Amino acid sequence: MTALVLDDVSHNFGSRVALDHLTLTVRPGRVTALIGLNGAGKTTALRALTGRLRPTRGTARILGHNPADLPGDVAARFGHVVESPLVYPELTVTENLCCAARLHGQPGRATARGASAAVGRMGLGPWRHALARTLSMGNRQRLGIACATLHRPTALILDEPTSALDPQGVVLVRELVRELADDGAAVLVSSHHLDEVARIADEIVVLHAGRDVGRLEPGGTDLEQRFFAMVLAADSNSAKTRTADMEYRA
Ligand SMILES: Nc1ncnc2c1ncn2[C@@H]1O[C@H](COP(=O)(O)OP(=O)(O)OP(=O)(O)O)[C@@H](O)[C@H]1O
């Protein structure tokens, strides 16, 4: 089964087109990266996929279910960080992790052990008793990712997971994502960072002006050049279509 699906999804904010007939699938064991310029539609796509936004048209599916109405056993196999991390500012790092474990259906006796493992894994040891609201932005991002993954989800969505991280955090997240995918998880990440994406993704989808404008092979050289060539070609095709449309109407 395809674990994550956007099927012909479009979304407008007023007259602004944020997503334009986007179809995207992520299979188990794969890491798919969504890349694009600022405003390309990446977060809107992930919000539609996590049920935080009802798209103007099209459907989203997580493990075969409507993301706005996930059954408990399916929610327990899903993890995500989209926009802000799902952490409680008035709880400590360890309390947040225990809470996330319980919310994802982990048995009570396993939560302390799982939280402690996640603290170590994400390098949060010195802050294990700190309130989440006192953490630096990068450590808050580490905690959000730890909360979204300590139950080892089979479907995972991460929006800009390394945006605030130092080089050590980037490596930790890369290893975690790869490990989950190698264990069979379907992972969708959004990013602007082509180098980072090339290291973790099996497939790179280029989003531009809300549209899927092509795929990039993660390996090989000149990723940046190939990305810009794809974006420029999409702009040029749109301009030609607009001109043809105006000539037809005239
Ligand atoms: N709540 C909103 N109201 C109005 N317009 C919005 C809203 N959210 C997003 N948009 C618009 O939708 C388009 C896509 O935005 P989105 O945040 O999905 O892009 P993005 O690729 O995630 O950008 P970035 O890389 O800058 O985070 C943009 O033109 C943006 O201005």
d(CA 210, ligand 1 centre) in Å: 9
d(CA 41, ligand 1 centre) in Å: 6
Residue-level length of the chain: 250
Tally Cβ neighbours within 10 Å of residue 242: 10
- According to DSSP H, which parts of the chain are helical? 42-49, 72-75, 93-103, 108-121, 137-149, 167-182, 194-200, 223-249
CA gap 55, 184 in Å, rounded: 28
- Phi and psi at residue 193, to the nearest 5°: -90, 100
pTM recorded for the entire structure: 0.93
Q: Which atom of ligand 1 is nearest to the CA of 46?
A: 18
CA gap 79, 167 in Å, rounded: 23
Buried b (16+ CB within 10 A) or exposed e, 35-53: bbeeebbbbbbbbbbbbeb
pLDDT for res 51: 94
* Pocket around ligand 1 at a 6 A CB cut-off: 13, 16, 18, 36, 38-44, 192
d(CA 15, ligand 1 centre) in Å: 13
pLDDT band at 196 (very low <50, low <70, confident <90, very high): confident
pLDDT for res 50: 95
Site to probe by mutation for ligand 1, drawn from 16, 19, 194 as the one with most ligand atoms within 8 Å of Cβ, is 16
Percent of the chain with pLDDT over 90: 78
| Structural domains present in the chain | 1-71+155-216 (3.40.50.300), 78-152 (no CATH)
pLDDT band at 144 (very low <50, low <70, confident <90, very high): very high
Percent of the chain with pLDDT over 70: 99
Residue 243 has pLDDT above 80, yes or no: no
Q: Which amino acid is at 22?
A: L
Q: Which long-range contacts (CB under 8 A, 24 or more apart) does 169-173 make?
A: 169/122, 169/123, 169/138, 169/141, 169/142, 170/196, 172/121, 172/122, 172/123, 172/142, 173/142, 173/145
pLDDT for res 20: 97
CA gap 190, 195 in Å, rounded: 13
Residue 221 has pLDDT above 90, yes or no: no
pLDDT for res 239: 73
Residue 192 has pLDDT above 90, yes or no: no
pLDDT band at 86 (very low <50, low <70, confident <90, very high): confident
Residue 242 has pLDDT above 80, yes or no: no
Quick check: 87 and 140 in contact, CB under 8 A? yes
The two tokens of residue 28 are 């188990």
Report ipTM (2 d.p.): 0.97
Burial class (CB in 10 A: 0-12, 13-18, 19+), 152: middle
Calculate the average pLDDT of the chain.
93
Burial class (CB in 10 A: 0-12, 13-18, 19+), 90: exposed
| pLDDT tens per residue across span 44-64 | 999 999 999 999 999 999 999
Give the closest residue (by CA) to ligand 1 atom 6: 13
| pLDDT tens per residue across span 97-135 | 999 999 988 888 788 899 999 999 999 999 999 999 999
Q: Degrees (nearest 5) of the Cα angle 175, 155, 53?
A: 120
